[in-house]
Structure 1
Amino acid sequence: MKGPLFYSKILLFGEYGIIKDSKGLSIPYNFFKGALKTDENPSEQAKKSNEGLKAFAEYLEALQNDGLVSFDLNSLNEDIDNGMYFDSSIPQGYGIGSSGALVAAIYDKYAHDKITVLENLTREKLLKLKAIFGKMESFFHGKSSGLDPLNSYLSLPILINSKDNIESTILPSQNKGGKGAVFLLDSGMTGETAPMVQLFMEKMKHEGFRNIIKDKFIKHTDACVEHFLNGDIKSLFGHVKQLSNVVLHHFKPMIPKQFHSLWKKGIETGDYYLKLCGSGGGGYILGFTEDIDKARTALSGHKLEVVYNF
């Protein structure tokens, strides 16, 4: 048995900001993927995943009482008893939606009256899906916006205008021969979402930090989303630089220590600009550059994966 594939995602813009109603842009990243599977001779990893699914199924049973969504729990539990697990190449703790893909796969296979990609996806349906996924994914993170599973489930770029206003969108065509690029930089360590979000919420209790979020962080995030979607690369890079600077000065704990100087170097030289990919603390770091060759030279010794070309 092997279920349909669900892909990882990259939140290009909006990390932390979307908690406070900034714009956001999330895109599917099909380099990594996962599917529900059953094997005759499961590996240790498969057994561990199967154990995790047992706990998740119990959580979903309790979740049904909210009346937001219901599942065919008999089939789910039967499949789990038969050794079902989530076979995934999506690295965990890397900020690219490993739990989101699992949530999407479970909803797709076991939810009653599910909303499908083939329907006319109205804003109401998207918001309902996001709410369901948020509740489901809270099992993994404590609190979830539901965006990662939504992206994985639909396999479409999602534009977040505000908490209550989301829509699927179309990205500008990539210029495969272009020198400009968005890339992933591997920090070589995993990060945990819950403690990072907790830290952000603590910082939000201080008025000075709240003002920085509103006047700088959200302002530059919103501008980045608009310029990216409009293909205005020159303006985009101006705001990406500002955003990178704000993160370096005000989100330092979310940046792995050994990357502080590289982050600063990028802003000073203009060879590349780094930003958080997801909640930070490890995993991938997102990079933007107008010249990928320059960025590769400046970041030699680090693994870069290009995800989008300008």
Structure 2
Amino acid sequence: MKGPLFYSKILLFGEYGIIKDSKGLSIPYNFYNGALKLDDNLSDSAKQSNNKLKQFADYLKKIDANLVEFDIDSLNDDIQSGMYFDSSIPQGYGVGSSGALVAAIYDKYAKDKITVLENLTRDKLLKLKAIFSEMESFFHGKSSGLDPLNSYLSLPILINSQDNIEATGIPSQATDGKGAVFLLDSGSVGETAPMVSIFMENMKQEGFRKMLKDQFIKHTDACVEDFLKGDVKSLFKNTKQLSKVVLNHFKPMIPKAFHDLWKKGLESNDYYLKLCGSGGGGYILGFTENIDKAKAALKDHKLEVVYNF
């Protein structure tokens, strides 16, 4: 048995902000993927995955049946037979490793599932998001459900607010363009839960809440609109502002070794960095108007281009 592939995702804009109703834009990233597989001779990492699936199956039993029901018997039979999630998606890197797994389990074991082929009304998208949010909470403590939604649909998703999401199109890439969005490997794994709890703690301060609304969300929303319109000039202006706000107010989420690089980008305008997911490690997202300049400035680091302007 080998299930269909589910891809990783990149939340281009909206990290943290979407918790407080900023816009967001999430795109599938086909470089990494995962699939359910059966094997009666499991490697050590496959055994770990198989054990995790056992715990996950127990958790799924407790989800309210009015929201979603699973064929738990088949799931448990397959787990007994050596099912695991075979994935190239790095864990703790902000590209949706648990999201792809959740999408794969829903696709194979949910009863009365909403399929990708039907007319995806806003209500159906919100129902899927609610189901995925419940499922993925097993891995993160609290999940928006967006990562699995992106992985399941394999479409860019525009988040207008928490209860207003839509599948969207993004401008096609200019393959010969100098401008690019890239991933920068921080070299360490980031844990989502501790980062989110720092954020929630900060949200108790009025000054932080005001900054979030007046600066962070304002620039995030502008970036999403610029990106979808293909207004590259305005996009870089707003991304620079966003990068500045993150450096000033989200320092704990930026790995220490990258504080100076972050600042250098803002000073030189060769590139602008922002968080990819919750931060704390994993990937950092970069935006540049000239990929050659960015590569030269970041020559000691591993860069992966994900989108060209």
Task: Report the residue type matching 1:235 in the other structure.
Answer: S
1:41 aligns to what?
A: 41
Instruction: Give the distance between the partners of 1:135 and 1:293, measured in 2 at CA.
Output: 43
Aligned equivalents of 1:287, 1:146: Cα separation in 2: 24
CA–CA distance in structure 1, aligned partners of residues 229 and 62 of structure 2:
44
The residue number in structure 1 matching 2:251 is 252
Whether contact under 8 Å (2:41, 2:82) holds in the other structure is no
Structure 1 residues 119-142: Cα deviation after superposition (integer angstroms, max 9, x where no partner)? 000000000000000000000000
Alignment partners' CA distance in 1, 2:47 and 2:238 = 46
Shift of 1:66: 4.9
- 2:275 counterpart residue number: 276
In the other structure, the counterpart of 2:163 is: 164
Q: Which residue is equivalent to 1:56? A: 56
Shift of residue 274 of structure 1?
0.1
Find the counterpart in structure 1 of residue 138 from structure 2: 139
In the TM superposition, residue 5 of structure 1 has moved relative to its aligned partner by 0.2
Give the fraction of aligned pairs with identical amino acids, expressed as a percent: 79
State the distance in 1 between where 2:40 and 2:174 align. Answer: 45
Matched, 1:8 2:8: yes
- Aligned ranges 1:20-169 → 2 under 5 Å: 20-63=20-63, 65-169=64-168
Letter matched to residue 46 of structure 2:
A
Shift of 1:41: 1.9
Note the C-alpha offset of 1:40. 3.3
Q: CA RMSD in A?
A: 0.5
Give the drift of 1:42: 1.2
Task: For structure 2, list consecutive stretches of 5 or more residues without a partner in the other structure.
Answer: none
Instruction: Classify the secondary structure of the residue corresponding to 2:150.
Output: helix
> Counterparts of 2:71 and 2:30 in 1: how far apart (Å)?
28
1:94 match: secondary structure: coil
Give the AA of the match of 1:80. Answer: I
Map 1:277-296 onto structure 2 (within 5 A). Answer: 277-296=276-295
What displacement does 1:67 show? Answer: 1.9
What TM-score do the two structures reach when normalised by structure 1?
0.99
User: SS where residue 11 of structure 1 aligns?
Assistant: strand
SS at match of 1:185: strand
Amino acid of the residue matched to residue 281 of structure 1?
Answer: G
Query: TM-score, normalising length from structure 2?
Result: 0.99
